[in-house]
Amino acid sequence: MDSARTLRFDDGSPVTAASGVAPLGEGWLIVQDDSVIAAWRRDDGVRPVRVLPAVEGHDTFSEAAGTKHLKPDLEVACPAEVDGEPAALLLGSGSSPRRMRGVLVRLEGGEPVVRAAELGPLYEVVAARLGLPMDHLNLEGASRHGDVVRWFNRGNLNAGVRSGSVDVPLEDLVAAVLGRAEAAEARVEQPREYELGEADGVGLAVTDAIALPDGRTLLSAAAEDTPNAVDDGPVVATAIALLDGETVLAVAPIPEVDGHVHKVEGLALRRVERDEVHLLAVVDDDDPATPAAELELRVELG
């Protein structure tokens, strides 16, 4: 870990529950899974970007306020293109019917422009391809492999569900969000499962992923002691895993900060220098009072 810092908007309010990060213009778009507002982090500051309408009058959601069940739960931020122009693709976790939306954010005249759509039928196809009932669906990460998005289901070994993924053509996801095609028509292919092991007796489960230039994949994973896809639990460890297809080549722990385990939920690739991969990671500590952390991670592949 090369650095760790907290994230705050320009008005001083905290960025919370950071669950995904993707490039947008000259900065990074960070999604908060407890809000319909994203954070656009650039060198000159952090500004809010509304990515979805308020839900029953709420922009933020928490268990303490009794609104957690309303949240759209955006968990994925992935680089994309719309009509040849760069964009960020955001996707909900699918862990409840309210959490099955897709969002595209692109820049026009330097300002974010947002399109969103309900994608429930697509999530049903994904669950079927993974062989899962809908209540075990919890899509928390995605990596971009050329024209394909590899979409990762977190899994939960407590419930007997391994981490897994499916491949969906980027053009199909973009078409579904823009309303150019039906969500159920998106091609969902190549279901995979991953055995990531355990930490302190708790199974590691994928939280996000990035593709490397050589075709391999780096995953972030968390050992969270929870019985299902909705409730939070204590996170006893986090790790980075190197994959080649379905094969897990290596797993390394993410260093703690002052004795605290940071639950990394978003990864973005900054650069690759020979055998060193430089990552930007964002953290969801499942605490609405705690500002999210942004970490600079360096992975030595050896």
Q: How far is CA 268 from the centre of its chain?
A: 10
The pLDDT of residue 256: 85
This model's pTM is above 0.85? yes
The pLDDT of residue 109: 93
- Nearest CA to 237 among 213, 215, 256, 210? 256
The pLDDT of residue 231: 61
The pLDDT of residue 227: 62
CA 222, CA 236: separation in Å to the nearest integer?
8
Look at the alpha carbons of 227, 159, 68, 23 in this order and tell me if their dihedral is positive or negative: positive
CA 87, CA 274: separation in Å to the nearest integer?
28
Beta-bridged to residue 14, according to DSSP, are 8
User: Which residues contact residue 82 at a Cβ distance below 8 angstroms, ignoring those fewer than 6 apart?
Assistant: 104, 106, 174, 178
CA 143, CA 137: separation in Å to the nearest integer?
18
**Each residue's pLDDT tens digit in the chain (302 positions)?**
999 999 999 999 999 999 999 999 999 999 999 999 999 999 999 999 999 999 999 999 999 999 999 999 999 999 999 999 999 999 999 999 999 999 999 999 999 999 999 999 999 999 999 999 999 999 999 999 999 999 999 988 777 889 999 999 999 999 999 999 999 999 999 999 999 998 888 889 999 999 999 999 999 999 987 665 456 677 888 999 999 999 999 999 998 887 788 899 999 999 999 899 999 999 987 777 789 999 999 999 97
CA 217, CA 205: separation in Å to the nearest integer?
15
The pLDDT of residue 238: 93
* Backbone Cα Rg of the chain: 17
Beta-bridged to residue 297, according to DSSP, are 279
The pLDDT of residue 158: 75
In contact, 178 and 110? CB cutoff 8 Å: no
In contact, 229 and 136? CB cutoff 8 Å: yes
